[in-house]
Chain A
Amino acid sequence: EAGVAQSPRYKIIEKRQSVAFWCNPISGHATLYWYQQILGQGPKLLIQFQNNGVVDDSQLPKDRFSAERLKGVDSTLKIQPAKLEDSAVYLCASSRDRHGYTFGSGTRLTVV
């Protein structure tokens, strides 16, 4: 089966600019996750979708971050405006349920 697809692979932006990341999960996986991995740390969950509904967005900085999952398939994560501390790898993952988590290769964001 095809893996979790993410794009772009790298992105460099200036602070206060906006940026968007895209994720295409594994076909048939109802649950989709966005994780933020700051250098030297483990990934931290930003948001979890079940189909196109939000299950957990308690750690999403909602003043600047937004995410959507239209039609319960693809998802986009947006940051507007970006801050220096948003520099990180953004990982998307999908699963059928609590098993079978599959991660994408992530987008490395650098904010200068």
Chain B
Amino acid sequence: AQTVTQSQPEMSVQEAETVTLSCTYDTSENNYYLFWYKQPPSRQMILVIRQEAYKQQNATENRFSVNFQKAAKSFSLKISDSQLGDTAMYFCAFMPNSGGSNYKLTFGKGTLLTVNP
């Protein structure tokens, strides 16, 4: 079974600054995907960024980038030039890619990020 751990329940950052959210995971799988999701008060989970484990290059999506360390099973999210609209819960999630049709996402407990003006 996979587990995902987010060790920072809450974080805050000043507008326009950079913040890094931490995530570690445990799995015996060799091929998998990792995700960061954002959940604003509207409750809808919004995909921020995705990383495929077989790709060594870290994924980047505009102001969002990841630091993926496969050997250390670490997957942190860096948000640059933080904006007030980035205030939300952020969840790290794992999905195995072992074939078949099991597309289960395993989530961490989340980090509440507050961006202060």
Contact = CB atoms under 8 A, between A and B. Distances in A.
A110 interface: no
Contacts of A103: 44-46
Interface residues of A, number: 26
Given A98-B33, A98-B97, A43 B44 contact: no
24 contacts: A31-B103, A35-B105, A40-B109, A42-B4, A42-B93, A42-B107, A42-B109, A42-B110, A43-B107, A48-B102, A50-B101, A55-B101, A56-B102, A91-B43, A95-B103, A97-B101, A98-B97, A101-B47, A101-B103, A103-B44, A103-B46, A105-B43, A105-B44, A106-B44
Interface residues of B, number: 22
B95 interface: yes
Main secondary structure on B side of the interface with A: loop
A51 to B, nearest CB: 10
B56 interface: no
Contacts of A78: none
Contacts of A43: 45, 91, 105, 107
A111 interface: no
Contact of B103 (A35, A44, A98): A98
A48 B45 contact: no
Interface string B82-100: 0000000001010101000
B30 interface: no
Contact of A105 (B33, B42, B105): B42
- Highest count of chain B CB atoms <10 Å: which of A31, A93, A101, A108: A101
